[in-house]
Structure 1
């Protein structure tokens, strides 16, 4: 599997973690005249109380002068000349109750939250400028607690699990060298049935290393690239690696035709192992990768897009679930106090594994297009639910500015 290209983006914390942040993300930006901002506390179409709040270095949080508990909307208007991010924070814990990112100058966007008794402040983070914290606002009446909040994660928090994960990847690459050597040796000997078995073992071993793909660089493309985009498709000299050998093994190519690709794969995997000691994964990406592995499994494996004849897409999907679980295990100390959805993620992961295992017999799985309607619906529902929940992991682990 190759991760689909990503733009540099943030995922806002979802409803299950912080309801207010999802509401902020869904609000449409609008240019409003000054008079509209002044009247925003009036009854709105949504039936909730609205408060106009200013976003600027000199007046961050100004306008919130009648604090009250309950569900409400802050209409955040950037009155400065630069884009800004805005956080609503619990000043006693530092937890975030809501955020709006990319608030352009002159633009107003809503932030819906549920507040209980406590102390709160807006934090304005202009682009290319220091953060500014607005006045502390205290709510002394109403429910004791409000909506969910989450402690922000720093890059320092993510360094230990990333280093631990890198070490695990190194061990996996060491084991992968032996599996690919076995594939090469089977091809060299002309035993193509043994080569097919060895191919699947080796490719599943590689597929479990999902969160590291972005750090593999060009060698990752050489090892597990697709024929997509190659001028001559599967016949192109630039089509190498696991899928090149897969195509040959399941399209009646001879051992002579496969010896060079198998030898090249063995050399490339050995280079990957040797270079990994100097590789550096970006700590801020680890949470996002947990989501991306499963998202790309849906796109490329459950559709059969990456199948070059072996029919092993569901086996690969199963291996990638193991890869997702490895990332979650490294992040678990950070997630347990922050993400109330973590037990649900574990349940959906177990369900997805179990339903895939039920389709496998003697180490083989049917191709996706051979599933019955009920089987396909079940697997699609499993992965759809898991992808949705893993978006929360990416959001919780998203590093947010502190200064």
Structure 2
């Protein structure tokens, strides 16, 4: 899989506003040190990944099958800010991104034997082999976790089906040259995608094709997807030249629909995905970068939170048995985020991001940060207990 270009998302948000999480497929929030509840460095099931501009070699590079926690640390890398664990089929299983120098964060997974790679886009060496050997310890599967993963697979399929329907209407308006109708249909097409974005991101280059911003692409002439059309509609006020882009977007969304029909998930991925959606809020929605032309960032923000809440709620029956206090805390924090968003609702949509003051942005970021901290511990509690 080729590396996905990344934009300098956090550059758009001053230090005073960087209150949100950096949590893509993670088991703990990004901090100056690893999660104290995670396995100690060098301990069983623990892999240290240090980001450098040269690469991101996992230590050790071979582990036994079972529960594994990856602690990713950026000591001084400037070109590299993320690490991804990718399986032999090219799917991203776990990832930590937006790690600037001094930050460290973790993600946890139950891994079967096989060949994987640790990838760090923009490094001199972007991919390093990683191997899992043997068989995982025998454990009794918890039927509550099985119900959760089955429920999430159903939810993802439903959302992508909605995405196909909405994108069909949206791209038809673009191809017909109807700017105002295309504008009206843009937001509804974005909603289902934003609810399940980590799933799309796990399929390598599919997410950039659908959702890349101009800063994410090295050659602007190759820019495709929603945001390319967004610029044409809101900045250029025209659909000229966008028909091929609309056709490719429809094809990519159809491909995503096909892929999710056979995709399965492990319980930790639900928690990781919930954290990933909060990362999307913190990294681009709360900065106003995501919808730079339409300024519908709060629509994306709300959809990310909704998707994160769905993933978490599916895990609640199992978590109630092991940590009911955590369930109560996370549910209360979701309520707080919803309350913080409510003043900006405008009928079926949301206020333009440009209407928010810096103080209002800070308040939203603070609410997301308060939710991210307890939510980020969930996958660490699940890994090893759900297989």
TM range (shorter): 0.5 to 0.7
Q: 1:131 to 1:175 in 2, by over 3 A?
A: closer
Q: Is the 8 A contact 2:210 2:253 kept in 1?
A: yes
Corresponding residue SS for 1:281: coil
> How has the CA–CA distance of structure 1 residues 9 and 156 changed in structure 2, closer, same or farther, with 3 Å as cutoff?
farther
Distance 1:354 1:153, change over 3 A: farther
1:360 maps to 345
Structure 2: 5+ residue runs without aligned partners?
7-21, 45-61, 72-131
Deviations 1:209-254 (A, max 9, x none): 1342344333222222233342233xx22x1111111121111152
Q: Are 2:258 and 1:274 aligned? A: yes
**Residue 322 to residue 25, structure 1, CA distance change in 2 (3 Å):** closer
Is the contact between residue 183 and residue 202 of structure 1 (CA under 8 Å) also seen in structure 2?
A: yes
Larger displacement relative to structure 2 (183-192 or 378-387): 183-192
| Distance apart, 1:374 and its partner CA | 3.6
Match of 2:173 among 156, 162, 186: 186
| CA distance in 2 between partners of 1:6 and 1:325 (Å) | 15
Highest relative contact order (Cα 8 Å, sep 6+), 1 or 2?
A: 2
TM-score, normalised on structure 2? Answer: 0.62
1:331-342 pair list within 5 angstroms: 331-339=315-323, 340-342=325-327
Structure-to-structure mapping, 1:188-227, within 5 angstroms: 188-227=175-214
Matches for 1:135-284 after TM superposition, within 5 Å? 158-233=145-220, 236-237=221-222, 239-284=223-268
3-state SS in 2 of match to 1:250: helix
Aligned length: 284
Within 2, Cα distance between the matches of 1:213 and 1:346? 26
CA distance in 2 between counterparts of 1:181 and 1:169 reads 18
Within 2, Cα distance between the matches of 1:384 and 1:250? 31
User: Could you tell me how far 1:384 is from its partner in structure 2?
Assistant: 0.9
- Give yes or no for contact 1:250–1:309 (8 Å, CA) kept in 2: yes
Which of 297, 309, 317 aligns to 2:293? It is 309
Matches within 5 A, 1:111-150: none
CA 394–347 in structure 1, closer or farther in 2 if over 3 Å, else same:
same
Summarize the Cα distance change of 1:346–1:250 in structure 2 as closer, same or farther, 3 Å threshold.
same
Contact 2:171 2:246 (C-alpha < 8 Å) held by counterparts: yes
Query: Are residues 1:376 and 2:361 paired?
Result: yes
| Contact kept in structure 2, 1:192 and 1:249, CA below 8 Å | yes
Alpha-carbon distance between aligned partners in 2 of 1:352 and 1:162, rounded to the nearest angstrom: 25
In the TM superposition, residue 193 of structure 1 has moved relative to its aligned partner by 1.1
Asked whether the 8 Å contact 2:25–2:272 carries over to 1, the reply is: no
Unpaired segments ≥5 residues, structure 1? 13-20, 30-54, 57-82, 86-99, 103-126, 133-151
Deviations 1:42-68 (A, max 9, x none): xxxxxxxxxxxxx99xxxxxxxxxxxx
Aligned twin of 2:10: none
Q: Which residues in structure 2 correspond to 1:12-161 (within 5 Å)?
A: 158-161=145-148
CA RMSD of aligned residues (A): 4.0
Partner of 2:335: 350
Q: Matched residue of 1:385: which SS?
A: helix
Greater radius of gyration (CA):
1
Tell me the secondary structure at the aligned position of residue 213 of structure 2: coil
Check 1:279–1:218 CA distance in 2 against 1; reply closer, same or farther (3 A cut): farther
Which deviates further from its counterpart, 221-230 or 176-185?
Answer: 221-230
Displacement of 1:195: 0.4
CA distance in 1, matches of 2:216, 2:201: 19
Which 10-residue stretch deviates more, 372-381 or 285-294?
372-381
**1:271 CA drift (Å):** 1.9
Residue 211 to residue 156, structure 1, CA distance change in 2 (3 Å): farther
Structure 1 SS opposite 2:249: helix
Check the 8 A contact 1:303/1:368 in 2, yes or no.
no
Q: Is the 8 A contact 1:207 1:319 kept in 2?
A: yes
Q: 1:101 to 1:256 in 2, by over 3 A?
A: closer
TM-score, structure 1 normalization: 0.60
Residue 313 (structure 2) pairs with residue 329 (structure 1): yes
* CA distance in 2 between partners of 1:203 and 1:392 (Å): 29
C-alpha displacement at 1:84, in angstroms? Answer: 10
Q: Name 1:390's counterpart in structure 2.
A: 375
CA distance in 1, matches of 2:244, 2:5: 26
